[in-house]
Amino acid sequence: MCKRRLYRHSLKQPQFNPRQVNHQDQSQVHANHDAFERGLQHGMMLSAAQQRHAVHAAQQHALAVVNQNETRIARASQQGFDRGYAAGMAANRGTQQPAAPKNSSGTYTYEDVETARKRGYSAGQQAVRSPSGENESSIRKKMVEEMVEQCRVIAERNPQMAPGVKAVRHMIKKLG
């Protein structure tokens, strides 16, 4: 019964026939469509302009940051060199008088740098030659003892790992 009512109701409704479209309505649709297209094109142009502006502003900001960092890095490098040179000269005051920059502008010449490098190299070589109190075998022995102690601690804290730790301890003792 319900199906019959639906069928009758559908027959009473006027059917849409695309061939019977009112031409006035169609011209209105075209006008609205043209206005929509113009608005869409205008919005796309505005968006593209804003995007170009944003990209340009980001590039300018990035260039400003890079320039600022470059000058800061150059300044820090020069200050680091000056501090290192002064520290090297202060450490070497006992053997020689510190050499002041030879030119009037207060910067260092190649000879100053080369002299400081040679002094630093010789000081480094003297530090290597001086006995440090411990030889290699005593250092190795201390390291082996420390590793064996760590193995013992691991075995005590985790009894399930004891067989593996015992094998590792045995290998460490062989190496030592």
DSSP state of 49: H
In this structure, the answer to whether residues 79 and 150 fall within a common structural domain is no
Distance CA 174, CA 146 (A): 14
Residue 3: inside a domain, yes or no? Answer: no
Residue 160: inside a domain, yes or no? Answer: yes
Residue 54: inside a domain, yes or no? Answer: yes
Residue 141: inside a domain, yes or no? Answer: yes
List Cα–Cα distances, 11 to 5, 19, 52, in angstroms: 10, 19, 58
In this structure, the answer to whether residues 120 and 41 fall within a common structural domain is yes
| Amino acid at position 114, single letter | E
Residue by residue, pLDDT tens for the chain (176 residues) are 566 666 666 666 666 665 565 555 666 677 788 888 888 899 899 999 999 998 898 888 888 888 787 888 888 888 888 888 878 777 777 555 545 555 666 677 888 888 888 888 888 777 766 555 567 778 888 888 998 998 999 899 998 989 999 999 988 888 87
In this structure, the answer to whether residues 62 and 93 fall within a common structural domain is yes
In this structure, the answer to whether residues 55 and 118 fall within a common structural domain is yes
In this structure, the answer to whether residues 42 and 120 fall within a common structural domain is yes
Q: How many domains does the chain have?
A: 2
In this structure, the answer to whether residues 54 and 119 fall within a common structural domain is yes
Cβ atoms within 10 Å, residue 72: 10
Q: Which domain holds residue 148?
A: 136-176
